[in-house]
Amino acid sequence: MKEEARGREEAPRLTLLVRAYCHLCEDMRSALAPLVAAAGVTVEEIDVDSDPGLESRWGEWIPVLLAGERELCHYRLDRAALAKYLVAPAESGDPRA
């Protein structure tokens, strides 16, 4: 049983920084949804306006798609950057590796 657990890798996790009433956030969310669903990726959404530190750091760049602390893209979904991350998270700077 322990070997089974070791053989399974944790699915990649992404963070989408958003804010209310943001049309670019809606666009990125819509573009991202089918891609992450097909890849089995978990996406956590965080409203930057609920955290002064996040708002200060990312306020003008929203939406932002993060893999750990690494920015994959902002404003619009960068499908190439996402695909590269999904194929090789360890090489993309994913802290899980």
Nearest to 89, CA basis, from 65, 62, 70: 70
- Residue 75 pLDDT > 90: yes
pTM beyond 0.75: yes
User: Across residues 69-96, what is the average pLDDT?
Assistant: 81
Residues 14-50: tens digit of each pLDDT: 999 999 999 999 999 999 999 999 999 999 999 999 9
- The partner residues of 66 in beta bridges, in order of sequence, read 15, 71
Question: Does the structure show a pLDDT above 80 at 79?
Answer: yes
Structure tokens at 94: 């994913």
Class of the 14-87 domain? alpha beta
Region 74-91: mean pLDDT is 86
| pLDDT of 6 over the 80 cut | no
